[in-house]
């Protein structure tokens, strides 16, 4: 029997320091990799150039290190991988799976309104397909969209169970290259998960509804689909996912005591028992055992 070598990753966007919520995803992905005797890789998702900084990324890596979380391979930076995203886009252009789009957000909102679709405020708007049949020649300032022809996509999540998403109404054709010339997260994440041989994705539940888009892209590009697990989130006082916008404080992990305290808090969110260990390394080793029991990992 062939055993798959587990390769997992943590992929923070360096838009600021890690906070308690980001550490939960980082810890969960690390524990799952170690529980399955696999490799844990860190990838810096800095495709959104203007919002990201090298300093923030270095700070995030230092925060992880203070918690005893170290990438098993050299850290990959998405800002250095544009040629790979272009290559994937070229493949999709050849397959006629993408098209150029000139719609602004306001255009999309107006078209939806005309179709009688009332969209919630602050939510990504499903694309109504305005430019799909127009065969517009691409030029700077336009976006490139993937034709999401699948109506309903079913997938399985190790924690959430069977999932489905009605892509046509909730997402529509989605952007791979943004009108400002930046690569979209969906394309970069799919290309890089495959390039790094990622077998298991463990990340926050707020990203679960991105998974169907990523599955579609994997299929279109002929890439393997990893096994997915979306973890619980740290909620802010307003009941929403903790984020910079609703007051998440940067993780203070300058000392090893602080690192251990931050890990204890993250472990609690993951419903692990508190550790009485004195060091991060010992606590992590205990939680690896707990994780194996909790998720029925054998072998
Ligand atoms: N870079 C994404 C974020 O920080 C995570 C991507 C992923 O894990 O797929 O939200």
> Which residue out of 203, 210, 218, 230 has the highest number of ligand 1 atoms within 8 Å of its CB and is therefore the one to mutate?
203
Q: How far is the CA of 204 from the centre of ligand 1 (A)?
A: 8
Indicate the pLDDT class of residue 299, thresholds 50, 70 and 90.
confident
Q: Which of the four pLDDT bands, split at 50, 70 and 90, describes residue 120?
A: low
Gap between the Cα atoms of 211 and 148, Å rounded: 13
State the Cα–Cα distance between residues 118 and 84, nearest whole angstrom: 37
pLDDT tier at 292 (50, 70, 90 boundaries)?
Answer: very high
pLDDT in tens, 69-107: 999 999 999 999 999 999 999 999 999 999 999 999 899
Q: How far apart, in whole angstroms, are the C-alpha atoms of residue 278 and residue 124? A: 45
State the Cα–Cα distance between residues 41 and 72, nearest whole angstrom. 6
- Taking 60 as the threshold, does the pLDDT of residue 2 lie above it? no
Helix (H, G, I), strand (E, B) or coil at 185: helix
% residues pLDDT > 90 (the chain): 83
Give the pocket of ligand 1 (CB within 6 Å).
Answer: 11-13, 45, 189, 203, 207
- pLDDT above 80: residue 267: yes
Q: How confident is the model at residue 1 (pLDDT cuts 50, 70, 90)?
A: very low
Q: Over the stretch 241-250, which tens digit does the pLDDT of each residue have? A: 788 778 788 9
pLDDT (tens digit per residue) in 161-198: 999 999 988 899 999 999 999 999 999 999 999 999 99
Given a cut of 60, whether residue 3 has pLDDT beyond it is no
Burial of 80 (0-12, 13-18, 19+ CB in 10 A): exposed
CA of 46 to the centre of ligand 1 (A): 10
Average pLDDT of 64-73? 97
**% pLDDT > 70, the chain:** 97
Q: Which residue has tokens 């708007």?
A: 125
Mutation choice for ligand 1 from 207, 213, 242, CB with most ligand atoms inside 8 A:
207
User: Which one of 7, 12, 64 would you pick to mutate in the ligand 1 pocket, going by the greatest count of ligand atoms within 8 A of its CB?
Assistant: 12
- Mean model confidence pLDDT for the chain: 94
What is the whole-number distance in angstroms between the Cα of residue 110 and the centre of ligand 1? 30
Residue 113 burial (CB count, 10 A)? 12
**Would the pLDDT of 118 be above 80?**
no
**Rounded distance from Cα 276 to ligand 1 centre (Å):** 31
The alpha carbon of 70 and the centre of ligand 1 are apart by a number of angstroms equal to 18
pLDDT reading at 57 higher than 50: yes
Q: 45 CA to middle of ligand 1, Å?
A: 7
pTM: 0.95
């Amino acid at each position: 029997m062939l055993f798959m070598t587990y390769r997992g990753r943590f992929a923070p966007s360096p838009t600021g320091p890690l906070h308690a919520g980001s550490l939960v995803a980082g810890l969960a992905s690390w524990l799952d990799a170690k529980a399955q005797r696999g490799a844990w890789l860190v990838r810096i998702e800095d495709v959104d150039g203007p919002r990201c900084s090298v300093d923030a990324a270095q700070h995030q890596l230092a925060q992880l290190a203070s918690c005893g979380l170290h990438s098993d391979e050299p850290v990959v930076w998405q800002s250095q991988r544009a040629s790979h995203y272009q290559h994937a886009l070229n493949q999709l252009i050849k397959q006629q799976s993408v098209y150029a789009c000139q719609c602004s957000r306001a255009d999309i909102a107006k078209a939806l309104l005309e179709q009688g679709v009332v969209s919630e405020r602050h939510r990504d708007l499903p694309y109504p397909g305005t430019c799909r049949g127009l065969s517009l020649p691409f030029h700077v300032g336009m976006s490139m969209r993937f034709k999401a022809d699948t109506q309903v996509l079913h997938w399985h999540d190790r924690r959430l169970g069977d999932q489905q998403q009605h892509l046509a109404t909730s997402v529509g054709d989605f952007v791979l290259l943004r009108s400002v010339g930046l690569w979209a997260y969906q394309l970069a994440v799919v290309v890089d998960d495959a390039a790094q041989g990622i077998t298991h994705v463990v990340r926050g539940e707020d990203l679960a509804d991105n998974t169907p888009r990523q599955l579609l892209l994997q299929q279109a590009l002929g890439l393997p689909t990893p096994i997915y697990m979306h973890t619980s989130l740290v909620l802010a006082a307003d009941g929403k996912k903790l984020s910079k916008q609703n007051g998440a404080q940067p993780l203070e992990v300058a000392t090893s005591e602080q690192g251990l305290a931050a890990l204890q808090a993250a472990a609690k969110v993951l419903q692990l028992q508190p550790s009485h260990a004195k060091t991060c390394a010992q606590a992590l080793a205990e939680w690896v055992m707990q994780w194996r029991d909790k998720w029925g990992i054998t072998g």
